[in-house]
A and B are shown apart, each in its own frame.
Chain A
Amino acid sequence: MPAKLDAKEIIARRAALELHDGDVINLGIGLPTLIPDYLPPGIRIFLQSENGFIGLGPLVGEPDPDLTNAGGKPAGILPDGAFFDSLMSFTLIRGGHVDATVLGGLQVDEKGNLANWMVPGKIIPGMGGAMDLVAGAKHVIVAMEHAAKDGSPKILTTCNLPLTGKGVVSLIITELAVIRVTAEGLVLEEIGPGATVEEVQAKTEAKLRVSENLATMKGIPV
């Protein structure tokens, strides 16, 4: 058996399978930026960077002060990319031209509500483009570690932090599970390496319905 994969790698590997050839994708900062490393062969996606371009790629050569990603870090643009202004950037985002966004989360609940932009009294960075992304992208995928650092659940019956979007999340991917948000609540579709249904439910506040087709997590080497 290979060395144990860390949680972030499991999440990134599984999330990569949700992206389809030709998709326009916006990735949140942090964990989601690992996803392109695990795209299956032959799958080409177009990464949108909300500061004003499509075709986000790795930095090639010297950093250019006028070319950063949405986190302000030096970045590159692919040869078929395009630059534009903030109006066009958010027209693409809100207008349904972005197939999916993959974001981290502080809390997600069984109604598909997402909270990931502030903790009152503690950290208020601002929503940046996140509220537009979750309102406008065709699919909102939350890719995050299953529980908080102190072990408290992040997948809840009802979010208690201020929301980024209401009823916007379609899929939750953690190192323990793949959970789909449906009109009937949360459905457990896949179990992470080494996890059990009981363990996943114990670490999830919301009640999970177990899919009839429950599977082991796809895309994870065993």
Chain B
Amino acid sequence: MGKVASSEEISSLFRDGMSVMVGGFLAVGTPASLVGMLLAKGVKDLTLIANDTAFTDSGVGPLVVNRRLKKAIVSHIGTNAETGRQMMAGELEVDLVPQGTLAERIRAAGAGLGGILTPTGVGTIVEEGKQKLTIDGREYILELPLRADIALLKAHKVDKAGNLIYRKAARNFNPVMALAADIVIVEAEQLVEVGEIDPDEVMTPGILVDKIFYGGGAPHAS
């Protein structure tokens, strides 16, 4: 079954109230075309799971500015003033999660684990309401798995089986998010035939990818 999908086919998967994981770190490695489709479809009350809310005009930031979110589960909002404004005004629920904990919670969901124990946040407001365990004399917080209905990822080179290669610092949260959503959609900067990516070079195996979007834009410098 072909994984390469049109924007119409991908847009038909978006629903109000969905939870959406989006790869990227301050817009680097964020699938701009897929975020654009989400905006164009007009779906609302989304729960966003991402490293940050990027900038008002790039990355996942426009989802905040255009009020498509009910909740944001992120590690950082400082570069998008609108997120902070909506949070202070009580218009948007923001769950701030330490970055490493966010990555491990997503991994736990994708790896069949019931949670993770981390020292991050012990003695801070992050531990409030959470179970703590002491192991070999050190305190850890039990953090629970985090998954989503859909993951929107970006990769540099993608074959038609969905095998992914990322480029430079655009990798960030993309590989882990490929593990933890019911539907995984990747935006390809380059789309190649099966066999053109050496299996040794694959960073995310294609079995994790459901849909591929290739806009056919100018190939990225490599």
Q: How far is the CB of B79 from chain A (nearest CB, A)?
A: 7
Of the listed residues B79, B126, B172, the one surrounded by the most CB atoms of chain A closer than 10 A to its CB is B172
Q: Interface centre among A71, A113, A124, A126, by most B CB within 10 Å?
A: A126
Whether B76 and A125, one on each chain, are in contact in the complex, defined by CB atoms closer than 8 angstroms, is: yes
Which residues in window 94-121 of A have CB below 8 A to B?
94, 113, 121
B68 contacts partner chain A, Cβ-Cβ < 8 Å: no
Nearest to A73 among chain B residues (CB) is B26
Contact B26 A72 (CB under 8 A): yes
Contact stretch, chosen from B9-17, B100-108, B193-201: B100-108
Q: Using Cβ atoms and an 8 Å threshold, which residues of chain B touch A90? A: 99-100, 103-104
Among the 9-residue stretches A4-12, A131-139, A176-184, the one with 4 or more Cβ atoms under 8 Å from chain B is A131-139
CB of B120 within 8 Å of the partner chain: yes
CA distance A49 to B170 in the complex (A): 13
Q: Which of these binds chain A: B36-44, B129-137, B173-181, B210-218?
A: B173-181
Residues of A within 8 A of B26 (CB): 51, 68, 71-72
For residue A46, CB closer than 8 A to chain B, the reply is no
List A contacts of B29 (CB < 8 A).
Answer: 66
Q: Which of B75, B103, B174, B221 contacts A128 (CB 8 A)?
A: B75
> Chain B contacts of A64 at CB under 8 A?
168, 221
**A93 at the A/B interface (Cβ < 8 Å)?**
yes
Question: Do the beta carbons of B100 and A85 come within 8 Å of each other?
Answer: no
Contact call B103/A86, Cβ cutoff below 8 A: yes
Question: Which of B120, B123, B172 gathers most chain A CB within 10 Å?
Answer: B120
* Residues in A neighbouring B166, C-beta threshold 8 A: 83, 85
B55 to chain A, nearest CB (A): 8
B171 at the interface (CB under 8 A from A): yes
* Smallest Cβ-Cβ distance to A53: which chain B residue: B169
Interface centre among A86, A94, A136 (most CB of B within 10 A): A86
Q: What CA separation (Å) do A84 and B25 show in the bound complex? A: 13
Cβ contact within 8 Å between B124 and A166: yes
Asked, given contacts A83-B171, A127-B96, whether A163 binds B123 with beta carbons under 8 Å apart, the answer is: yes
Min distance, Cβ A113 to any Cβ of chain B, angstroms:
8
> Are A136 and B124 neighbours in the complex by a CB distance under 8 Å?
no
Tell me, yes or no, whether B114 is within 8 Å of chain A by CB. Answer: no
Bound-state CA distance A4–B205 (Å) is 58
* Residues of B with C-beta under 8 A to A65: 28
Q: Does B219 interact with chain A (Cβ within 8 Å)?
A: no
| Residue A192 interfacial (CB < 8 Å) | no
Q: Which of A86, A126, A136, A162 contacts B74 (CB 8 A)?
A: A126
Residues of A within 8 A of B5 (CB): none
- On whether the beta carbons of B104 and A135 are closer than 8 Å, the reply is no
Would you call B77 and A86 a contact (CB within 8 A)? Answer: no
| A–B complex contacts, Cβ < 8 Å, 11 sampled | A51-B26, A51-B28, A64-B168, A66-B167, A85-B174, A94-B119, A125-B84, A128-B75, A129-B98, A129-B99, A167-B123
Q: Top 6 nearest A-B pairs by Cβ distance? A: A166-B123, A125-B78, A90-B100, A132-B100, A72-B26, A126-B76
